[in-house]
Each structure stands twice: as structure tokens, then as C-alpha cells.
Amino acid sequence: MRVTTTVRGLLALASAGLLALSLTACGGGSTTGGTSAGTTEGSAAATLTTVGFVAVGPEGDWRKANEQNMQDTFSKDAGFDLKYAPATNLDQKSQIDAFTSFVDSGVDIILLSATEGSGWEDSLKKAQEAEIPVILIDRGIEPDDTSLYVTRIAPNNVNVAKSVAEWAVKDMPKGGNYIVLEGPAGVGVVNERNQGFDSVFSSQSQWKKVGAQTANWKTDEGKSVTETLLKANKNDIQFIFAQNDEMGLGAIQAVQEAGLTPGKDVKIATIDGTKNAVQALADGKLSFVAEYNPLFGETALDAVKKTLAGEKLDSYIEVPSTTFDSPEAAKAALPNRKY
């Protein structure tokens, strides 16, 4: 359990509360006096809680959904001034610079989605010295020192990847050759997904890994890496685990261009659950999609409020996610998909 009592945070909440009280008082609005209620808009700008969001920025549909959801949730109407700082070309230094400027400018709290898992100790210690709490969004840090942040909010990468492996073992009992399309080296979720997947597949002797390579979360790289590995294995690949949807959609293209039928000759499973992937599952081109739910802005908002109020939080808050294992399940889900 974690105790996060920050003087700054309590002052931020108190001043917002006092301000709200004073606005009500000066607004009149008594039921007996019959005075017209003052409008808060005209009285004073309410004190907003400032949130520094050190974000990843443009990366794919999952990231777009996650970061838009965060910005929509931490709105001024909700009492927040969210300062969005996307990385420059996924560069960690640009994130560290943004993080540092948030600490120096004295924001009330920082949300961090790290482009790289390692290299955050100095920044996190600087925030700690300034009594600015940090909440990790999606991505973890390596080594995982839970004393350096309040909590991490994310779906469970290990379990999400395990669900892919467990489905494959059940769906293809004969096994065969498989490849893994990984996210970028050094990103924490990639290691967690490998850990979860291998915790099942490493004991399945009927499966043989004939290739594993990063395709950097991208469709074009997912296609080119799959092309290369299909050629290297003379098309003798029965299963592809793509660690995100975009890479899996690229794998579909490569499988088709090799003259093979996705979903029949080669089955492809992905993680994220974005619309394009669920549609590809409905079309029979993907065979399994494990959702990695990006829409947890409300959970983050609750964690921020509790943190600034000095409440204890667990070091990890799990975001629930589901799976889709058939075209029928995908078709049923499509009308309600929000990302």
C-alpha cells in the first residue's frame, strides 16, 4: 500500500474548495432572499488542478484513443488544467525534458506514459524531492521501483499475452512453427507480453519459434518482417503472434502476398482491440484479438483525486480487458466499439 500525502496536493484541493465556497457565498442565490444567484463564470476563474501529461504522442490507433481519452477526461469543466506534452518522434529525451519542465513549473501531479522503460530514476527522484506525485499511465518503468511513483494504471500485459497463448494452444492442438512480431526493444510492455506469452508456450513442445523481431508497432514493418520470415521459413509458419493490432494487420498483407490464406494456412493473433483489428477478425483475416483497453481516463482521474487528497493507492491499478475469439464475437462487438 502506498501513502501519498503531499502538502502541495492538499493545498491544491483546499484552495479549489475554498474558492468554490466563496463563489457560492458571493453568488447570493438564497432561497429566501430571492436574490439572483451569482454566476461563477463572472466571479473568478476557479483554481484548476494542474496535471502535466508526459505522453507518447502519435504512435497508432491505441495510443490515439488513450491520449484523447485522458485529455477529454481531465477537462477544465472537471477542474483540471491538463498540459499535454507528447514526445518528439518517440524520443525519450524529449519526454525527460517535458517532465523536468513540469517539475520546475510546479504542476500538482504528473502522468507519465514512458516511451522507454529504463532511464527514469533521476526524473522521478526530482519530482519526489519537489513533492510532485507521479502516476504511470500504461507503460511501466525498469527496474520497477514502486517507491518512485504513486501507482501504475494499465491493463495486465502479462495476462493479456497469456490469453493469446492459451487460445493458440487450444485452437491449434497440433502446433507448428510460429513467429512473434514485437513492439520496440526497451519498451516495458514488450517484455511483459513476451513474459506472459512464453509462460504458456515455453512448455508447449508442439510449437517451435522460428522467428521473433520488432516491427515497431507499425503495419508496414509488420508486413515487411513477416515477408522476410515467411521467405526464410519457406512459408512453413502456422501462427503469428503480433504484439499489437497494426503489426498484425501488416502480417495479414504479407501472408496474402505469399499466396497463403490468413485464418486458414496461417492464424494471426493480436493485442489492442482497435476497430480495424476487430473488423479483420469479423472478416476472418485475424483469428484472435486480445483487448488492451485504452479508455481508462476516469480511473486515472479517480487516482489523481485520491492522491492529491493524501489517500493510499496500490502500486498497480489493473484496467479490465476482454478478448475476441471468433468472427461472430467480433461482429457482435463492432457496433459498440469506442476506439
Q: Which residues bind ligand AHR (CB under 6 A)?
A: 59-60, 62-63, 138-139, 189, 217, 244, 271-272, 292
Q: Strands across the sheet with 239-242, in order?
A: 207-214, 176-182, 239-242, 267-272, 288-291, 323-324
**Distance between CA atoms of 325 and 329, rounded to whole angstroms?**
7
Q: Residue 216 has which C-alpha cell?
A: 515497431
Residues 176, 262, 233, CA angle at the centre, nearest 5°?
A: 45
> Closest approach of Cβ 84 to ligand AHR, in Å?
17
- Three-class DSSP category at 30: coil
> Closest approach of Cβ 60 to ligand AHR, in Å?
5
Q: How buried is residue 189: exposed, middle or buried, by Cβ count under 10 Å (0-12/13-18/19+)?
A: buried
Measured CA distances, 330 to 63, 165, 280, 282, 294 (Å):
21, 19, 9, 5, 18
Q: How buried is residue 331: exposed, middle or buried, by Cβ count under 10 Å (0-12/13-18/19+)?
A: middle
> Closest approach of Cβ 318 to ligand AHR, in Å?
14
**Distance between CA atoms of 271 and 303, rounded to whole angstroms?**
26
**Distance between CA atoms of 293 and 142, rounded to whole angstroms?**
22
**Distance between CA atoms of 17 and 256, rounded to whole angstroms?**
60
